[in-house]
């Protein structure tokens, strides 16, 4: 691995920041096309019902309405879904959740479209909603899909847990419940569709993988791929919530039928109802360790409520099971998992992708075992944490670089952890409150699979266009969803070519112009796309060398760009003498290496990121209020490419982890949403995050990644939630098994403890 040049790891300005602060950036919700129609969706009136009839006539009478579409108007396959296509584009005979689309209205104004949407008459036979996944799994339960309600199950056994528990000095058994939560990206689902100058049906909308969106649109419309173009360069946040198709097929369908450009922008209410969520899961954990503090057994059972449709429910469950035993060496592991269909919305990808839930259970168990053993929580983790070559929970070797131990040691040395014995609050609101406020410090250690895992194609292709003036355009197919990956790609490119950032630019996410760089998910982009950038840069220098050999008669060898000059074996020559006015383009592809043996879809991963979070809370015992006052994140994402981006991921992850621990819950009653906007679905504000946050990179370089980089976006969030839970337990001696932990829960628990 080469030594990283200074631009790699530097704190640079994001390439998109100036446009964003000026309000100049056009997001999917900002885009318009002359002559466009507004499209509104008629959604299900019941979470579970049979459709008896659909009458669009009254809607067509509304002035300004151009077209109303139903399932009869879907020319291709009326089904979509990333993994299994079990979700109708427009429902035909049955609705399975409130977000289900039954009809689409296209009208000259949004007001007309809305009015007409109200007038589409759908006659239903209302069915009892299936809301309890445990009951839905039982034989004889009403089946929501032809193959029954179990979307996916997995069963793994390593060693012998029964015998193992017999050897344990401590055995801890608990059931944890984690809620459904929403991504709450600030920009709701939106976009436009139109026919481009080449007659391609073009969708410019939010998303996380343009090439898969293209496939899903083409399949539903019965079109060949080349007649569909998808663009999605800049997106107002996603976190997994825009991974599945949202508006794309509906936009394309209306434009296809009307030949008119179309626009959709979801309201927040619609957004909260319709897109995927984080799976609510009931997790039963039984874990044990011997007297010396060695982990002996982990037994876990997960029942994940996957809601109405598959989306990525299967792979999410797989990742949950993969990470059930955390980043630890455990000889005996038994994991059983079920992802079950219900009428509770529908769940799919969300930052952490199943690992988030498992980590809440396992890291709570780790603290409980440490406590029973009278061991220091981090010492206990240090003793059990995986190192390279160890066999992971599900019994496969860890062949990547493993920084888990270094993150634990870094956390042990950190100021926050060393202060954990101090119980007095540092920042209580007023001195008179101080006697009633308890301080606590908690930790959590975590690993997170990087990329899509074995069995799911995971590759990244990028292109470079070298202009005769020596400037270079990078073409990458992933989306800029806020994470800052485009900036990091340019830093990698600058580092490889030695060309300063100001001479580099990027074209992002357009199937007509950018190659398939894969998904913008799974903490994979800096690792996979960044590596492809590195390969493309090497190829560019090789091709330049070959041309220079041919044209200038230089000796064989790569040639480097030096401003408008080319430098190689034969010295320096102006680049224009080689290229004339031509643009030289190269492409390169990186296939992410995979594990030795496949154990299920995407299972296991070959590469992981690691992290140890330390959280400090202050709990007001009079009111039950919890304040997270400080967090330290010790994160191994390999070599850091973009320092500000790395910290930004960490700080944002801390806020989301706090939200999951203390505030957020999508509440449903019989399949109907009670949380309909930000007044009822409450996410952290500036007053809910700690004033003091610190991100400490633990840079264990991964030789397979660009300059040794991995990814960090999920690891940055996942450990925060259990660290906060462990800190609460440390502060008040009460442990919570159900999220979110609200002030009233704390008060009730403290009262119970007293009596």
Q: Is 16 in the site for other proteins (CB under 8 A)?
A: yes
Stretch that binds other proteins, among 10-18, 94-102, 320-328, 555-563 (CB under 8 A): 10-18
Q: In angstroms, rounded to a whole number, what is the distance separating the alpha carbons of residues 393 and 254?
A: 48
What residues numbered 241-270 form the site for other proteins, per CB under 8 A? 265, 267-268
* CB of 238 or CB of 504, closer to other proteins: 238
* CB of 181 or CB of 443, closer to other proteins: 181
* CB of 436 or CB of 678, closer to other proteins: 678
Yes or no: say if 364 and 722 are a contact pair by the CB < 8 Å rule.
yes
What residues numbered 462-481 form the site for other proteins, per CB under 8 A? 481
Q: Report the residue from 169, 433, 584, 693 that binds other proteins according to the rule CB under 8 A.
A: 693
Q: Report the residue from 482, 600, 705, 740 that binds other proteins according to the rule CB under 8 A.
A: 482
Q: Is 582 in the site for other proteins (CB under 8 A)?
A: no
Both tokens assigned to 414: 């950190």
Which residue in the block uniquely carries the two structure tokens 């410019």? Answer: 204
Give me the 484-503 binding string for other proteins, x by CB under 8 A, dash otherwise: x-------------------
Residue 210: how many CA atoms within 13 Å on its side-chain side?
30
Q: Report the residue from 20, 92, 503, 576 that binds other proteins according to the rule CB under 8 A.
A: 20
Stretch that binds other proteins, among 16-24, 376-384, 583-591, 728-736 (CB under 8 A): 16-24
Both tokens assigned to 601: 């879809």
* CB of 451 or CB of 645, closer to other proteins: 645
Q: Can you give 495-559 as a three-state secondary structure string?
A: HHHCCCHHHEEEEECECCCCCCCCCCCCCCHHHHHHHHHHHHHHHHHHHHHHHHHHHCCCCCCCC
Q: Is 381 in the site for other proteins (CB under 8 A)?
A: no
What residues numbered 68-107 form the site for other proteins, per CB under 8 A? none
Count Cβ atoms within 10 A of the Cβ of residue 565 and give its class: 0-12 exposed, 13-18 middle, 19 or more buried. Answer: middle
Stretch that binds other proteins, among 9-17, 171-179, 452-460, 544-552 (CB under 8 A): 9-17
User: For other proteins, how many residues bind (rule: CB under 8 A)?
Assistant: 56
Q: In angstroms, rounded to a whole number, what is the distance separating the alpha carbons of residues 36 and 716?
A: 41
Residue 23: how many CA atoms within 13 Å on its side-chain side?
0
Give 147's contacts (C-beta < 8 A, 6+ positions apart).
none
Q: Is 33 in the site for other proteins (CB under 8 A)?
A: no
**Closest distance between other proteins and the C-beta of residue 549, in Å?**
43
Nearest alpha carbon to residue 193 among 126, 248, 140: 248
Give me the 343-372 binding string for other proteins, x by CB under 8 A, dash otherwise: ------------------------------
Q: In angstroms, rounded to a whole number, what is the distance separating the alpha carbons of residues 654 and 716?
A: 7
Taking the mean position of all CA atoms in its chain, how far away is CA 716?
11
* CB of 22 or CB of 138, closer to other proteins: 22
Give 707's contacts (C-beta < 8 A, 6+ positions apart).
1, 2, 4, 8, 9, 492, 495, 534, 639, 641, 701
Both tokens assigned to 616: 């400090």
Q: Is 483 in the site for other proteins (CB under 8 A)?
A: yes
Yes or no: say if 351 and 609 are a contact pair by the CB < 8 Å rule.
no
What residues numbered 653-682 form the site for other proteins, per CB under 8 A? 653-656, 677-679
Q: Report the residue from 1, 2, 24, 436 that binds other proteins according to the rule CB under 8 A.
A: 24
Q: In angstroms, rounded to a whole number, what is the distance separating the alpha carbons of residues 410 and 405?
A: 9
* CB of 481 or CB of 497, closer to other proteins: 481
What residues numbered 611-650 form the site for other proteins, per CB under 8 A? 644-645, 647-648, 650
Q: Report the residue from 434, 651, 672, 701 that binds other proteins according to the rule CB under 8 A.
A: 651
Q: Report the residue from 53, 432, 685, 755 that binds other proteins according to the rule CB under 8 A.
A: 685
**Closest distance between other proteins and the C-beta of residue 346, in Å?**
21
Q: Report the residue from 207, 237, 697, 705 that binds other proteins according to the rule CB under 8 A.
A: 237
Give 177's contacts (C-beta < 8 A, 6+ positions apart).
280, 281, 282, 283, 737, 738, 739
Q: Report the residue from 207, 652, 706, 719 that binds other proteins according to the rule CB under 8 A.
A: 652
Q: In angstroms, rounded to a whole number, what is the distance separating the alpha carbons of residues 567 and 560?
A: 5
**Closest distance between other proteins and the C-beta of residue 418, in Å?**
22
What residues numbered 161-200 form the site for other proteins, per CB under 8 A? 183-188
Q: Is 18 in the site for other proteins (CB under 8 A)?
A: yes
Q: In angstroms, rounded to a whole number, what is the distance separating the alpha carbons of residues 281 and 686?
A: 29
**Closest distance between other proteins and the C-beta of residue 521, in Å?**
15
* CB of 118 or CB of 175, closer to other proteins: 118
Q: In angstroms, rounded to a whole number, what is the distance separating the alpha carbons of residues 135 and 343?
A: 13
Distances from the Cα of 714 to the Cαs of 238, 447, 650, in angstroms? 13, 10, 9
**Closest distance between other proteins and the C-beta of residue 163, in Å?**
45
Interface residues with other proteins (CB under 8 A) are 11, 13-14, 16-18, 20-27, 29-30, 183-188, 234-239, 265, 267-268, 481-484, 644-645, 647-648, 650-656, 677-679, 683, 685-687, 689, 691, 693
């Amino acid at each position: 691995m080469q030594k990283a040049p200074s631009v790699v790891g530097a704190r640079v300005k994001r390439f998109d920041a100036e446009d964003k602060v000026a309000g100049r950036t056009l997001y999917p919700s900002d885009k318009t096309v002359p002559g466009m129609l507004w499209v509104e969706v008629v959604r299900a009136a019941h979470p579970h019902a049979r459709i008896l009839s659909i009458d669009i006539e009254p809607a067509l009478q509304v002035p300004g309405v151009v077209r109303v579409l139903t399932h009869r108007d879907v020319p291709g396959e009326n089904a979509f879904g990333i993994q299994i296509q079990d979700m109708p584009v427009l429902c035909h005979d049955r609705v399975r959740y409130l977000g289900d689309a039954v009809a689409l209205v296209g009208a000259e104004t949004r007001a007309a479209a809305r009015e007409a949407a109200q007038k589409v008459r759908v006659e239903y036979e209302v069915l009892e909603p299936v809301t309890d996944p445990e009951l839905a799994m039982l034989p004889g339960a009403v089946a929501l899909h032809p193959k029954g309600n179990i979307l996916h199950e997995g069963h793994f056994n390593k060693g012998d847990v029964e015998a193992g528990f017999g050897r344990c000095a401590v055995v801890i058994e608990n059931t944890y419940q984690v809620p459904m939560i929403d991504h709450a990206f600030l920009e709701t689902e939106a976009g436009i569709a139109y026919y481009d100058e080449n007659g391609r049906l073009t969708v410019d909308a939010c998303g996380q993988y343009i090439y898969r969106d293209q496939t899903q649109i083409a399949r539903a419309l019965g079109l060949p791929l080349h007649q569909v173009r998808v663009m999605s360069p800049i997106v107002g946040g996603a976190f997994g919530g825009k991974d599945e198709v949202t508006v794309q097929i509906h936009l394309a369908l209306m434009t296809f039928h009307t030949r008119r450009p179309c626009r959709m922008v979801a309201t927040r209410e619609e957004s909260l109802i319709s897109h995927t969520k984080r799976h609510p899961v009931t997790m039963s954990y039984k874990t044990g360790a011997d007297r010396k503090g060695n982990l002996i057994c982990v037994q876990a059972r997960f029942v994940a409520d996957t809601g109405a449709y598959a989306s990525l429910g299967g792979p999410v469950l797989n990742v949950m099971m993969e990470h059930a035993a955390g980043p630890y060496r455990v000889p005996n592991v038994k994991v059983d998992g079920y992802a079950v269909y219900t009428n509770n919305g529908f769940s799919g990808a969300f930052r952490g992708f199943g690992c988030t839930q498992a980590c809440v259970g396992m890291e709570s168990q780790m603290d409980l075992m440490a406590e029973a053993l009278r061991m220091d929580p981090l010492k206990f983790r240090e003793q059990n944490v995986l190192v390279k070559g160890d066999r992971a929970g599900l019994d496969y070797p860890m062949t990547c670089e493993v920084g888990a131990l270094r993150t634990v040691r870094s956390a042990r040395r950190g100021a926050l952890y060393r202060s954990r014995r101090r119980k007095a609050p540092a920042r209580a609101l007023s001195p008179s409150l101080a006697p009633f406020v308890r301080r606590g410090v908690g930790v959590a250690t975590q690993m997170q699979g990087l990329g899509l895992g074995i069995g799911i194609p995971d590759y990244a292709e990028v292109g470079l266009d070298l202009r005769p003036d020596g400037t270079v355009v990078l073409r990458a197919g992933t989306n800029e969803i806020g994470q800052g990956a485009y900036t990091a790609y340019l830093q990698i490119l600058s580092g490889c070519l030695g060309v300063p950032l100001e001479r580099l630019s990027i074209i992002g996410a357009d199937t007509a112009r950018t190659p398939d760089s894969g998904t913008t998910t799974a903490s994979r982009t800096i690792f996979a796309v960044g590596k492809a950038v590195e390969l493309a840069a090497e190829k560019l220098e090789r091709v330049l060398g070959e041309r220079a050999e041919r044209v200038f008669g230089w000796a064989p060898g790569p040639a480097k760009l030096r401003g408008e000059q080319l430098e190689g074996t034969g010295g320096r020559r102006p680049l224009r003498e080689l290229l004339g006015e031509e643009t030289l383009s190269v492409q390169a592809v990186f296939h992410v290496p995979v594990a030795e043996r496949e154990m299920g879809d995407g299972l296991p991963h070959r590469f992981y990121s690691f992290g140890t979070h330390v959280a400090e809370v202050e709990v007001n015992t009079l009111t039950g209020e919890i304040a997270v006052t400080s967090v330290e994140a010790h994160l191994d994402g390999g070599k850091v490419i973009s320092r500000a981006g790395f910290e930004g991921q960490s700080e944002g992850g801390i806020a989301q982890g706090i939200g999951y621990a203390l505030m957020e819950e999508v509440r449903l009653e019989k399949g109907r949403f009670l949380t309909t906007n930000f007044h009822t679905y409450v996410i952290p504000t500036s007053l809910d995050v700690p004033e003091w946050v610190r991100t400490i990179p633990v840079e264990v370089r991964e030789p397979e990644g660009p300059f040794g980089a991995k990814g960090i976006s999920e690891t940055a969030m996942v450990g925060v939630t259990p660290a906060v839970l462990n800190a609460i337990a440390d502060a008040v001696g009460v442990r919570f098994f159900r999220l979110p932990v609200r002030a009233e829960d704390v008060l009730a628990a403290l009262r119970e403890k007293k009596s």
